[in-house]
């Protein structure tokens, strides 16, 4: 064995080539119960084998019974988080979750407007699964005008889609048509909050519609929207096309739901990801 390149226990000569992979970014709130938000997104990124970064938009006090308090991140700190990451990492894709103020939405939109190569998944957290409303008129307007036009895909449930459309919606198919006509941005309308035995998610793009279906599982689940959008962003960061990223994310979500546990005193189920 030739040890001429070893000195004092360290390699000498040409430095090793270090691979710096593309990363995926979550811009979302912190969930103190660990089942949604930043915490769930990082678990999903890891499960998909993509390095994860975070910008925390707010701190929530919550458990399996609901959200009791939200503390928005100060705007200067929010901007500092984004600037620090942008200066050091190659961000291929990102997702947004809870954006508690209109000012936060505008700051986040400005960040992604300056980085148009980042493939952006917008999860419009207007009404939390727990029932706590995170929607104010000015934040909704900022979301509509500032952030959604930058998205590679927007992932509302039917209630959130109705808010974005400004009208009641009968089903995901109708909602997809209305939102595409309004924004000309891809939308994935989620059917998880319905009651039909088959969950029907509808993806609409400039190429038309694709439908993804899977059997409905019994029980109430926490963090499904966060995990789905994070999984789509991870797929986009790995170079997948949108339809394939959605298909894989839906399958991953369904498997994680099938392994869910009930860690709190309520019956709310938390997903396990591998």
> Residue 186, Cβ neighbours under 10 Å: how many?
22
Confirm if 177 and 204 have CB atoms less than 8 A apart.
Answer: yes
Q: Give the confidence band of 235 by pLDDT, cuts at 50, 70, 90.
A: very high
What pLDDT score was predicted for residue 129?
A: 42
Q: How many CB atoms lie within 10 A of CB 192?
A: 19
Rounded to 5 degrees, what are φ and ψ at 143?
-60, -45
Angle between helices 242-258 and 224-237 (to 10 degrees): 140
237-251: per-residue pLDDT in tens?
999 999 999 999 999
pLDDT at 3 over 60: no
Average pLDDT, the chain: 90
Query: Using one digit for the tens of pLDDT, what is the confidence trace for 149-202?
Result: 999 999 999 989 999 999 998 888 889 999 999 999 999 999 876 677 888 999
Q: DSSP letter for 74, please.
A: P
pLDDT in tens, 244-272: 999 999 999 999 999 999 999 999 999 99
**127 phi, psi to nearest 5 deg:** -135, 115
Counting every residue written for the chain, the total comes to 274
pLDDT over 90 at 113, yes or no: yes
Segment 129-133 shows an average pLDDT of: 46
The 8-class DSSP code of residue 217 comes to: P
Residues ≥6 apart with Cβ < 8 Å to 4: none
- The CATH code belonging to domain 21-270 is 3.40.1190.20
The Cα–Cα gap between 21 and 24 comes to: 10
Residue 13: pLDDT band (50, 70, 90) is low
pLDDT at 30 over 80: yes
Sign of the dihedral defined by the CA atoms of residues 28, 161, 253, 68, in that order: positive
| Contact criterion met (CB below 8 Å) for 164 and 200 | no
- pTM higher than the cut 0.75: yes
Q: Where are the domains of the chain?
A: 21-270
């Amino acid at each position: 064995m030739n040890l001429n390149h070893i000195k004092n226990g360290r390699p000498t000569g040409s430095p090793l080539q270090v691979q710096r992979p593309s990363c995926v970014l979550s811009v979302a709130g912190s969930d103190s119960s660990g089942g949604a938000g930043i915490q769930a997104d990082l678990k999903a990124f890891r499960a998909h084998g993509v390095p994860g970064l975070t910008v925390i938009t707010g701190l929530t006090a919550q458990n399996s019974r609901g959200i009791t308090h939200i503390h928005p991140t100060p705007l200067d700190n929010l901007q500092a988080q984004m600037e620090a990451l942008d200066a050091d990492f190659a961000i291929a894709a990102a997702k947004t979750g809870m954006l508690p103020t209109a000012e936060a939405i505008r700051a986040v939109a400005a960040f992604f407007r300056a980085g148009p190569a980042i493939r952006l998944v917008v999860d419009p957290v207007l009404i939390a699964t727990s029932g706590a409303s995170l929607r104010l008129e000015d934040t909704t307007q900022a979301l509509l005008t500032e952030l959604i036009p930058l998205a590679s895909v927007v992932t509302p449930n039917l209630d959130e889609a109705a808010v974005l459309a400004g009208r009641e919606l009968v089903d995901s198919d109708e909602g997809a048509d209305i939102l595409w006509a309004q924004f000309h941005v891809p939308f994935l309308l989620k059917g998880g909050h319905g009651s039909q035995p088959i969950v029907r998610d509808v993806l609409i793009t400039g190429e038309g519609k694709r439908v993804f279906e899977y059997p409905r599982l019994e029980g109430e689940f926490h963090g499904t929207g966060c995990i789905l959008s994070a999984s789509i962003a991870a797929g986009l960061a790995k170079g997948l096309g949108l339809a394939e990223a959605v298909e894989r994310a839906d399958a991953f979500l369904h498997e994680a739901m099938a392994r869910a546990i009930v860690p709190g005193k309520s019956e709310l189920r938390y997903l396990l990801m591998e």
